[in-house]
Amino acid sequence: MIETTTQGDIAVITMKHGKANALDVAFCTALADTFETLKASPARAVVLTGEGGIFSAGVDLLQADKGGPDYIRRFLPTLHRLYETIFFFPKPVVAAMNGHAIAGGCVLACVTDRKIMASGSGRVGVTELLVGLPFPALAFEILRHVVVNARLEEVLFTGTTYEPEAARERGFVDEVVAPGTVFERAMAVAESFAAISPPAFMQTKKQSRQPVADHFRREGAAVEAVVTDIWTAPEAGRTIAAYVAKTLRKKWSCAKT
C-alpha cells in the first residue's frame, strides 16, 4: 500500500494502492500514520510520489457507493486527518506527481509544499461538483490557499481537468519539467529545503498556513456538518452511483477512482 525509503536526508513515500491510489479509509489512515511517524524521524524532508501513470485519482467512489452513508461518515474524518497531517506537517514535503491527480487526489498534491509534474504526463483538477458533492471544509480551505484567486471559482465550479502547464497557471502545479525527470527534480527541491534550518522552515510554514487553520477553526465544524449531510443524503447516493456507472467503470476498469 505504501513504501517508505530513505535517500540521505530525504524520506521517499511511494503510494502503491492499486492502479489509482484511490482514497479509502484504510489508505488514508496508513498514509497519515506514515507522516506521523516521520515527524520524529531523522529525515529533514519528504518526497511523496506514486507508481505508474496516476498520482491519485481521488476518493474511491466505488467503495463510497457500496458502503453508503455509514461508510461515508467514517471516511470523511479519515480524509480530513490525512489532509491535515500533511498540510501542517512540520518538515518540507514535495510532490513528485507521476501522473493524473484528480479530485481528492488533486487536493492530496495541494497539501504539499512544492508540486512537480512532467509535461504531458497527466491531468490535474477537482471534479467534485461533477459528482454532485461539495468539498469537505478543510479541502476547500486548502484549495483557496493554493489556487490562483482569480481562477478559484473556475476550477471549483467547472470541474475541469488541466494539462500540467495549464494546471501550473492555476496553482495546482509549481513546476513543469521534462518527461522522465519528475523524481530527480523533486529530490533536488527536497534537498534544497532540507538544507534550510528546520526550526526556521517549520515556523515559516506555520505562519504561511495559519490563515487556513484560523478559518477552519472558525467555520470548519459548521461547514463539515453541512457537507456530511449532503454526502450522505439519498440524492448523493444516486449521483455517486450514476457517476460510477457513467465514468469510472468505463475509464479506469479497475474498481477505483
Q: What is the pLDDT of residue 231?
A: 97
Task: Examine residue 230 and state whether it is found in any structural domain, yes or no.
Answer: yes
- Residue 142 scores a pLDDT above 60: yes
Task: Examine residue 127 and state whether it is found in any structural domain, yes or no.
Answer: yes
Task: Examine residue 187 and state whether it is found in any structural domain, yes or no.
Answer: no
pLDDT tens profile 170-223: 999 999 999 999 999 999 999 999 999 999 999 999 999 999 999 999 999 999
Averaged pLDDT of the chain: 94
Task: Examine residue 185 and state whether it is found in any structural domain, yes or no.
Answer: no
- Residue 247 scores a pLDDT above 80: no
- Residue 251 scores a pLDDT above 80: no
- Using an 8 Å Cβ cutoff, are 117 and 164 in contact? yes
- Using an 8 Å Cβ cutoff, are 43 and 193 in contact? no
pLDDT tens profile 19-44: 999 999 999 999 999 999 999 999 99
Query: In total, how many domains does the chain have?
Result: 1
Q: What is the pLDDT of residue 255?
A: 36
Task: Examine residue 124 and state whether it is found in any structural domain, yes or no.
Answer: yes
Q: For residue 61, which of 92, 103, 19 has the smallest C-alpha distance?
A: 103
- Residue 5 scores a pLDDT above 80: yes
**Least confident piece of the model among 10-14, 84-88, 208-212, 250-254:** 250-254
Q: What is the pLDDT of residue 253?
A: 40
Task: Examine residue 191 and state whether it is found in any structural domain, yes or no.
Answer: no
Task: Examine residue 144 and state whether it is found in any structural domain, yes or no.
Answer: yes
Which domain does 35 fall in, by range?
1-179+197-257
Catalytic residue among 51, 128, 169, 235: 128
pLDDT tens profile 150-171: 999 999 999 999 999 999 999 9
Give the pLDDT band of residue 249 (cuts 50, 70, 90).
low
Q: What is the pLDDT of residue 252?
A: 45
* Cα gap 17→169, rounded to integer Å: 29
Task: Examine residue 184 and state whether it is found in any structural domain, yes or no.
Answer: no
Average pLDDT over residues 68-82: 97
- For residue 126, give the C-alpha cell: 477537482
* Cα gap 223→252, rounded to integer Å: 32
DSSP string over the chain = -EEEEEETTEEEEEE-STTTT-B-HHHHHHHHHHHHHHTTSS-SEEEEEESTTEEE--B-HHHHHHHHHHHHHHHHHHHHHHHHHHHT-SS-EEEEE-SEEETHHHHHHHTSSEEEEETTS--EE--HHHHT-PPPHHHHHHHHHHS-GGGHHHHHHH---B-HHHHHHHTS-SEEE-TT-HHHHHHHHHHHHHTS-HHHHHHHHHHHHHHHHHHHHHHHHHHHHHHHHHHHSHHHHHHHHHHIIIIIHHHT-SS--
- Residue 256 scores a pLDDT above 80: no
- Using an 8 Å Cβ cutoff, are 50 and 1 in contact? no
Q: What is the pLDDT of residue 214?
A: 96
Instruction: Specify the CATH number for the domain of residue 120.
Output: 3.90.226.10
Establish whether 84 is a catalytic residue: no
